[in-house]
Amino acid sequence: MICQLCNRDTSVEGLCNRCHSRLHSWLDDLPEFWRLAHDELLPGRTGSGASSTERTIGLNVNALSFIAGDDILGVLHEWERLIREERQLTKPALLKKLPLADEITAAVVFAQTHLQWSGQQAWIEDFATELAELHHKGMSAAKAFVSHERKIPCPATMPDGEYCGFKLKVNKDDPMDIFSCPKCKSEWTTLRMVAVALSSPGLTEIWLDAEAIGSYLNMSAKNVQQFARRHHIRQRGELYDLKAFLAARHA
């Protein structure tokens, strides 16, 4: 059998494991991109002094339709209607209306649940093309709002046994510079903090950009990006899952 997207040999009808995994991962990213963009929608405070209440508006209007859910639901709901019709499932009009966040999650889960079947249809290439465009738009929306400061949760253990979790800025220019966490008062260097965070089972995700990862691993940012693409490392805008990156590097 041949994969409907890449024409490679596959043991199952429709999509090979690689193409299935890629589409499934793109779908996984959409709610996260929406959350990253949406959470940063509230304009920041400006002005002099802590009492200032002025707010700036600096929004990227091209990302507003993504934040509103129109882009995600516009694409996924059209394909969902087709799938429901062809598979003789409950019609969308008969489904309960959900809050926007839940509606986006439900649309993503539906597409993932029926992905193997969709991969066997003549229209799968059109679906993959639209999903790729939507994923790219989501990356742009998340990038427009997410902070470019390189931060990871403080991995110090508090007296109650929980992790501190205060977001500490990574110093890529001087990884041996000593600084303290304003919440728990623990002292770190960037190298030690990253090493401890990586060994802490309670911190399952550490997101850093290519420059910060390159500084930690003595690689160029370009090599980090190329490696991440080859191994399909999860991404949030310009940030990469460091634990997944190291797992792939040592596989």
Provide DSSP, 77-110: HHHHHHHHHHTT---GGGSPP--HHHHHHHHHHH
Strand blocks (E) in the chain: 45-46, 54-55, 151-153, 167-169, 179-180, 187-188, 207-209, 235-236, 239-241
Q: What are phi and psi of 121, to 5 degrees?
A: -95, 155
Average pLDDT of the chain? 79
What tens digit of pLDDT does each residue of 181-219 get? 888 888 888 778 877 777 776 665 677 778 778 777 778
**Residue 42: partners with Cβ closer than 8 Å, 6 or more residues away:** none
Query: Are 125 and 5 in contact, with CB atoms under 8 Å apart?
Result: yes
- CA separation for the pair 183, 98 (Å, rounded): 38
pTM across the whole model? 0.54
Q: Label residue 157 left, alpha or beta by phi (over 0 means left) and psi (-120 to 50 means alpha).
A: beta
Strand order of the β-sheet with 235-236 is 207-209, 239-241, 235-236
Q: What are phi and psi of 146, to 5 degrees?
A: -70, 145
Torsion sign across C-alpha atoms 177, 182, 186, 191: negative
- CA separation for the pair 242, 121 (Å, rounded): 36
Q: Which amino acid would we find at residue 127?
A: F
Q: Please give the share of the chain, as a percent, with pLDDT higher than 70.
A: 80
Whether the pLDDT of residue 25 is over 80: the answer is: yes
What tens digit of pLDDT does each residue of 113-152 get? 999 999 999 999 999 999 999 998 888 777 655 544 567 7
Span 62-76, average pLDDT: 82
Query: Are 201 and 184 in contact, with CB atoms under 8 Å apart?
Result: no
H or E element at residue 43: none
Q: Which of 90-94, 131-135, 165-169 has the lowest mean pLDDT?
A: 90-94
